[in-house]
Amino acid sequence: MTFDKLLARSGLHADAFAKRAKTSLKGLWRVLGFNVLEGVVIPKKCLCAAIGKGHVSVACGMRFLSRPRIAGFRRFDFEEGRYPRPEEMASAVLSAREAFRARDAAMILSVPRQWVMTRVAELPLVVKGNLASVIAYELDRFTPFSPAEAMYDFAVTSEDAQRLKVAIVAMRSETARPYLDALAANGVIPERITTDMTAFGTLCAILGGAKGMVLCLAVDEEGFGACLMKDGAFLAGSSGRLAGTDRDRDLEELRTELSPLLARFDAAGVPPGVLLETSGRYAFIDEELGVPVKTVGREDLRRVFKTDIEDGVAGPLGGLVETIWPGATGFNLAGKGPGASGRGFKTAITWALLTLIAVAALLYLIVPLQMEKARLDRIEYQLKIRRGEIRAIEALRQEIGSIETDMNRIREFKESAPMALDVMKELTTILPKSVWLTRLRITGETVETEGYAASATEMLPRLEQSSLFKKVEFSSPTIRDTRLNADRFVIKMQMEGFEEKKAGGPKDERKK
């Protein structure tokens, strides 16, 4: 392998490692940035106002213990054929807020799909680490808007070894600015700005229980809005107006607009699936689209949210669900990219938790040391005030040790050989009554005895049978004393067990 190939392979491994490390760090930051209070311990209440032609719809909901609940719905009608004026929209929001008693609720504004455009851009993978800056710089190339005049958000939909695809949702800020100013004049600042098209996709994916890739389609008298979702995440979208003069022509135009989105199913190798909401004269087109269709509506709302809303699915519920539904994600046009706004509170909690963790770690390291230091100081103090007692105790210990040494020596001396009294008792026991001794000498392991016996030779077997003696023999010839009519003898023998004690092992082991 050449050096260039080795360098190229090392670069690929380094890039893969950096990618995994970056993904792990992002996951860690999401965990650290998770708000453990709002919506879990503390109920999070939200209002979502959706602007539509001739009306403003407001939905109220909350999340408590990570469980979402729809609290209610209000619809405010205005002049048909036009969007409500900013002050009318603000008045409707204030009325709904009073009706739901939700003065402290987070505000979400859902803008019509006609105000928003969606694009899917392909970019080199190397820009992923600085994607927000790249999108801001290239926004006027992807959309008709410059970053200064646009409200936008984006999300990565897919990536491979070289390129990544980014879904961009943008609108002209001048369109929404009068409504935001009208709300701000009444003390209402939207936390998020979403679009009913992408929010409808999130809502349909939840209502339809869709996993994998699904096309969410809403068709009404104003036109259509379609978004391609995968596991609850937005992939691509399309919207437009229908002529409304010829139903068959409108359906043909709808099929043409949906064909690029349906082609994504073929590219992924999965069968197409469509979640549909219709109204007006397009209420029964599910069998005319040419693909498997599942209609979502009020029955699904009752099943999932335990509520009944007559305004249809594509109202303000989508924006509300994006906020209160656990794990739901959506776009926020109030910022300039993901996480650009609305993260102050989460960041504050994150830093507060990190500070608490740091303080706890510091205490964990310092407190045990201080406790041990205080304990040592107490021990030193006790030693200081009892130093005289300690010296006396040490002297007693030394005296005890000396006495124990002497006792051990005496015990060893005592156990090293049988005592003289034991020898005399043994001789008295085994010798016949006709034998008397004139002298008994014990030197170390040797015993010598002199005396008179009727027959000296009878004494040897008796002494050999004793457990106390061994090697019994005459140390000198026996002499017959005629005066006493007895044999004078001198017997020498060794004490059994003396060598065993001295050598520290059994007798039979020494012989081996």
3-state secondary structure 241-259: CCCCCCHHHHHHHHHHHHH
| pLDDT in the model for residue 342 | 45
Tell me if 207 sits within 8 A of 214, measured CB to CB. Answer: no
Placement of tokens 């002497």 in the chain: 406
Weakest mean pLDDT among 190-204, 225-239, 270-284, 496-510: 496-510
| β 44-52/106-111 pair status | parallel
Does the pTM surpass 0.75? The reply is no
d(CA 150, CA 142) in angstroms, rounded, equals 12
Q: Where are any strands of DSSP class E within 92-190?
A: 106-111, 116-124, 150-159, 163-172
Weakest mean pLDDT among 16-25, 103-112, 226-235, 473-482: 16-25
| pLDDT in the model for residue 51 | 93
d(CA 420, CA 500) in angstroms, rounded, equals 18
d(CA 52, CA 46) in angstroms, rounded, equals 19
**Which two three-digit tokens encode residue 252?**
């043909």
d(CA 92, CA 94) in angstroms, rounded, equals 5
pLDDT digits (tens, 9 = 90+) for 187-214: 999 989 999 888 888 888 888 776 788 8
Residue 109 has pLDDT above 90, yes or no: yes
pLDDT level of residue 326 (50, 70, 90 thresholds):
confident
| pLDDT in the model for residue 40 | 59
Per-domain boundaries in the chain = 35-342, 356-413, 420-511
Weakest mean pLDDT among 323-332, 397-406, 461-470, 497-506: 497-506
Residue 38 has pLDDT above 80, yes or no: no
d(CA 219, CA 313) in angstroms, rounded, equals 11
Weakest mean pLDDT among 92-96, 243-247, 341-345: 341-345
Of the CATH numbers 2.60.40, 3.50.50, 3.40.50, 3.30.1360, which one belongs to the domain with range 420-511?
3.30.1360
Residue 119 has pLDDT above 80, yes or no: yes
| pLDDT in the model for residue 348 | 64
| Rounded-to-10 torsion of CA 207, 210, 213, 217 | -30
Q: Where are any strands of DSSP class E within 11-82?
A: 44-52, 55-64, 67-77
Q: CA distances (Å), 66 to each of 36, 62, 323, 325, in order?
A: 10, 10, 12, 8
pLDDT digits (tens, 9 = 90+) for 345-361: 455 666 777 888 889 98
d(CA 154, CA 149) in angstroms, rounded, equals 16
d(CA 219, CA 288) in angstroms, rounded, equals 13
Placement of tokens 């670069």 in the chain: 11
Residue 8 has pLDDT above 80, yes or no: no
| pLDDT in the model for residue 176 | 92
| pLDDT in the model for residue 153 | 92
Average pLDDT, the chain: 82
| pLDDT in the model for residue 86 | 94
Tell me if 60 sits within 8 A of 72, measured CB to CB. Answer: yes
Q: CA distances (Å), 457 to each of 335, 429, 438, 469, in order?
A: 126, 18, 17, 16
What average pLDDT does this structure show over 300-306? 79
Weakest mean pLDDT among 162-176, 227-241, 311-325: 311-325
| pLDDT in the model for residue 182 | 95
* Higher-pLDDT residue of 81, 504: 81
Placement of tokens 């003065």 in the chain: 103
d(CA 265, CA 273) in angstroms, rounded, equals 9
**Which two three-digit tokens encode residue 479?**
């002499």
Residues in the chain: 512
pLDDT level of residue 111 (50, 70, 90 thresholds):
very high
| pLDDT in the model for residue 323 | 85
- If you ran DSSP here, which 8-state letter would residue 467 be given? S
Tell me if 337 sits within 8 A of 239, measured CB to CB. Answer: no
pLDDT digits (tens, 9 = 90+) for 39-93: 556 788 899 999 988 999 999 998 888 788 888 888 999 998 899 999 999 999 9
Placement of tokens 């109030």 in the chain: 334
CA 35 from centroid of its chain's CA atoms: 16
Residue 417 has pLDDT above 60, yes or no: no
Residue 7 has pLDDT above 70, yes or no: no
| pLDDT in the model for residue 90 | 95
| pLDDT in the model for residue 88 | 94
* Higher-pLDDT residue of 222, 100: 100
Phi, psi of 434 (to 5 degrees): -80, -5
d(CA 72, CA 97) in angstroms, rounded, equals 11
Residue 22 has pLDDT above 70, yes or no: no
Weakest mean pLDDT among 27-41, 131-145, 268-282: 27-41
Q: Please give the full DSSP string across 182-223, using - where no structure is assigned.
A: HHHHTT---SEEEEHHHHHHHHHHHHTT--SEEEEEEEETTE
d(CA 82, CA 160) in angstroms, rounded, equals 44
| pLDDT in the model for residue 171 | 92
Residue 236 has pLDDT above 70, yes or no: yes
Q: Please give the full DSSP string across 444-455, using - where no structure is assigned.
A: TTEEEEEEEES-
**H-state helical runs in 269-332:** 298-305, 317-324
